[in-house]
């Protein structure tokens, strides 16, 4: 947490606001609610409070330095002059590289940052997806590692709830199938609200939703 307080100060948050945020997160207690039961309160000794109002903003401030390092070093993909080598949502970071060597440098950059900030990356929670074009094969895959542990290279993986495949054509197919499934679930969920047309939505609106 001390590193977070320092980053807060360097970002321009000072005075009473800095003291307030520090006080809110010092010796903070939290509980877990599961299946109608609530655990005994316990101290938050690492990271930010799960579900806290400020937690998202504080974490974004905390992790932003490593994203800046990747961009400043020119590592990863660009669309024109727009950097898109490390699309990030909360603590889910995707590293998009042009080559195996560049990807390992990006992984090492993130690894070095974690050592500097004294937290541990989990290789078992990370995967490498290589885009298998028509001129590539599984035998050409390069090994990648975090903390000297190999990162698995499956044929598919889920990132932010979206399934991606090493084969681009299969990725498109899986996205289409998933969207169709979501649309079906949405349709069924609306049935009880009157999508059937009887004492509910008018037939024109129902037909429009069905086509959509």
Task: Give a yes or no: residue 5 inside a domain.
Answer: yes
65 shares its domain with 29: no
128, 152 Cβ separation under 8 angstroms: yes
Angle between helices 2-10 and 55-72 (to 10 degrees): 70
The reported pTM is 0.67
Note the pLDDT tens digit of each residue in 49-108. 777 778 888 888 888 899 999 999 888 999 999 999 998 887 788 899 988 889 999 999
Measured CA angle at 26 (ends 25, 29), to 5 deg: 75
Task: Tell whether 29 and 100 lie within a shared domain.
Answer: no
For residues 69 and 127, state if they share a domain: yes
Residues 120, 154 contacting (CB under 8 angstroms): no
Q: What is the pLDDT of residue 139?
A: 42
Share of the chain above pLDDT 90, in %: 13
pLDDT value of position 137:
46
My answer on whether 150 and 172 are in the same domain is: no
Whether 69 and 121 share a structural domain: yes
Is residue 186 in a domain? yes
pLDDT, residue 198, reads 57
Q: Is the pLDDT of residue 2 over 80?
A: no
Q: For 168-197, what is the mean pLDDT?
A: 74
Dist. CA 210–CA 118, nearest whole Å: 52
Where in the sequence is the domain holding 38, given as residue range(s)? 1-47
- If asked whether residues 95 and 147 sit together in one domain, one would say yes
Q: Residues 203, 116: one domain? A: no
pLDDT of residue 210: 74
> What pLDDT is stored for residue 78 in this prediction?
92
CB 154 within 8 A of CB 164: no
Q: Are residues 70 and 99 in the same domain?
A: yes
Co-location of 15 and 80 in the same domain: no
Please tell me whether residues 114 and 186 are part of one structural domain. Answer: no
Measure the CA–CA gap between 82 and 86, rounded to whole angstroms: 12
Q: What is the mean pLDDT of the chain?
A: 81
Judgement on whether residues 145 and 70 belong to the same structural domain of the protein: yes
pLDDT digits (tens, 9 = 90+) for 22-45: 887 777 788 888 888 999 888 877
Q: Is residue 161 part of a domain?
A: no
Would you call 156 helix, strand, or coil by DSSP?
strand
In the chain, how many domains are there? 3
Task: Using alpha carbons only, give the angle 69, 129, 101 rounded to the nearest 5 degrees.
Answer: 50
pLDDT in tens, 108-153: 999 999 888 888 887 888 888 887 664 444 445 578 888 888 888 8
CA–CA dist 112, 146 (Å, integer) = 10
Give the pLDDT band of residue 158 (cuts 50, 70, 90).
confident
């Amino acid at each position: 947490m001390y590193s977070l307080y320092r980053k807060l100060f360097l970002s321009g948050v000072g005075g009473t606001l800095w003291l307030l945020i520090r006080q809110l997160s010092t010796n903070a207690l939290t509980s877990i609610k599961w299946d109608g039961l609530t655990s005994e309160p316990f101290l938050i000794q690492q990271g930010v409070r799960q579900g806290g109002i400020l937690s998202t903003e504080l974490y974004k401030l905390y992790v932003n330095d490593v994203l800046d390092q990747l961009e400043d070093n020119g590592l990863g993909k660009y669309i024109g002059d727009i950097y898109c080598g490390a699309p990030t949502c909360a603590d889910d970071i995707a590293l998009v590289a042009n080559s195996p060597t560049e990807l390992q440098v990006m992984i090492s950059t993130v690894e070095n940052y974690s050592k500097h900030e004294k937290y541990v990356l989990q290789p078992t929670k990370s995967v490498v997806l290589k885009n298998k074009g028509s001129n590539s094969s599984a035998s050409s895959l390069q090994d990648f590692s975090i903390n000297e542990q190999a990162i698995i290279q499956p044929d598919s993986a889920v990132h932010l709830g979206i399934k991606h495949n090493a084969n681009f054509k299969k990725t498109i197919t899986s996205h289409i199938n998933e969207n169709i499934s979501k649309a079906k679930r949405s349709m069924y969920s609306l049935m009880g609200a009157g999508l059937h047309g009887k004492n509910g939505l008018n037939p024109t609106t129902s037909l429009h939703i069905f086509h959509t």
